[in-house]
Amino acid sequence: MAKPAPRYPVLVIGGGIAGITAAVEAAECGAKVILVEKRAHLGGRVARMHKYFPKLCAPYCGLELNYRRIRENPDINVHTRADVLEIAGQYGDFSVKVRLQPQMVNANCTACGKCAEVCPVERQDHYNYGMGKTKAIYLPHPMAFPPRYNISKKACRGKECNKCVEVCGYGAINLDARETVMALKAHSVVLATGWEPYNGAKLQGLSFGVSPNVISNVQMERLASPDGPTKGKLVRPSDGKEVREVVFAQCAGSRDENHLPYCSSVCCLASLKQAAYVREAAPDANIYIYYIDIRTPGKYERFYQKIAAEPKVTLIKGKIAKAEHDPETGGVIITAEDVMAGKKITRKADLVILATGMQPAARNGLAGLKTDENGFFVDAALARGIYAAGAAKLPHDVSATIMDATAAALKAVYGRWP
């Protein structure tokens, strides 16, 4: 006989691909679900990618299907701009406090964009990792779900300006909205808080944050994307010049006792994928990938071989020690070791991409829950009824994340332990 649906909803924290998957799978098993996402839109990091390895398809196909499953399922209740303050109680009967940031733009918003046209203030574009600007009232990105404008409280001049309120024909903007705290009951909890890119500025000598032509791998996703800051034109950030020499620096932070002691598992694949972006956007550019080891396990071996065999792609075993501004060309000079040739190399580059690793987003704490020494959740160390999924648990690719989140959803609904 089928088990009855849980009395209280399953709470999913984090609306990336792991959280979205856990939410739809749990709801389609008959549970009610509350999905809490701290940002204004769902999709997490993958919503900011240009393409997925190995198929090189756009993440939006899969995300859009999942958004439809959410839209069509009345049992899934989504709260964006929300995070969890407290989780108490036990499996089957958790009491949770959720902080709801002020919703200055409500569900009446039709995303017509008139508010942004009249807004006089600009802010750095968070979605594009600081490359480019948006207005203080902005749509996070063209495919944002929910498709609703959002206001940066820091940048907005409030009622002294009030232009967005005056132009909005739908009564969707309330600059007086305040933060609230919502108390709820949950049957079980899925932690799907994901990852953040390691801060490249912590890597001494690599000029991240010093030279605009040294960027991180997540910025490269935005630079290559047609809805990114350059509309997908691959140019030198400092002056918009065409790129001719492109260098990838692997293990920027990962596998380093001074930074992230673990392998972030997807960075080699991400750089190989981004080499394909360069091949497409700038076919004459030379591409150099400096690595410690190339790690492309299992089914990804073929993808590695395919990209490595592309013309103009060179893989060099050796770590980049220095990347410095080149006053002569405005580009970057890198110094690296070529392990196989047993020599030191210097090379001039237009663009250097640091393959910065993945750090758990919850490493600084979430409602007092235990993590390992690196900030990842470990199911066995969590209370019964609380399960982690996706990159909150381990650096994962998307297909492993989806499998893991599906398993977490089943445990959250049916109560298997661990």
Ligand X SMILES: Cc1cc2nc3c(=O)[nH]c(=O)nc-3n(C[C@H](O)[C@H](O)[C@H](O)COP(=O)(O)OP(=O)(O)OC[C@H]3O[C@@H](n4cnc5c(N)ncnc54)[C@H](O)[C@@H]3O)c2cc1C
Q: Which residues bind ligand X (CB under 6 A)?
A: 13-19, 36-39, 44-46, 49, 52-53, 83-84, 192-195, 217-218, 221, 266, 270, 273, 358, 361, 366, 390-392, 396-399, 401
Of 45 and 236, nearer to ligand X (C-beta) is: 45
Rounded least distance, CB 45 to ligand X, Å:
3
Of 136 and 268, nearer to ligand X (C-beta) is: 268
DSSP 8-state code for residue 239 = T
Rounded least distance, CB 236 to ligand X, Å:
20
C-alpha separations of 216 from 96, 252, 269, 354 in Å: 36, 9, 15, 5
Query: Residue with CB nearest ligand X?
Result: 16
Rounded least distance, CB 173 to ligand X, Å:
23
Of 83 and 350, nearer to ligand X (C-beta) is: 83
DSSP 8-state code for residue 191 = E
Angle between helices 17-28 and 60-71 (to 10 degrees): 40
The Cα–Cα gap between 332 and 345 comes to 14
According to DSSP H, which parts of 72-102 are helical?
Answer: none
Rounded least distance, CB 219 to ligand X, Å:
9
Determine contact, residues 404/24, Cβ cutoff 8 Å.
no
Rounded least distance, CB 377 to ligand X, Å:
11
The Cα–Cα gap between 315 and 185 comes to 53
The Cα–Cα gap between 27 and 370 comes to 27
Of 49 and 214, nearer to ligand X (C-beta) is: 49
Of 108 and 305, nearer to ligand X (C-beta) is: 305
Determine contact, residues 392/386, Cβ cutoff 8 Å.
no
Of 33 and 361, nearer to ligand X (C-beta) is: 361
Of 273 and 295, nearer to ligand X (C-beta) is: 273
C-alpha separations of 90 from 7, 184, 382, 384 in Å: 13, 13, 11, 7
Give bridge partners of residue 214 from the DSSP assignment: 352
Rounded least distance, CB 49 to ligand X, Å:
5
Of 218 and 246, nearer to ligand X (C-beta) is: 218
Rounded least distance, CB 195 to ligand X, Å:
5
Determine contact, residues 182/11, Cβ cutoff 8 Å.
no
Nearest to 15 by CA among 134, 146, 164, 176: 146
Rounded least distance, CB 117 to ligand X, Å:
28
C-alpha separations of 229 from 39, 148, 221, 233, 263 in Å: 20, 20, 11, 9, 30
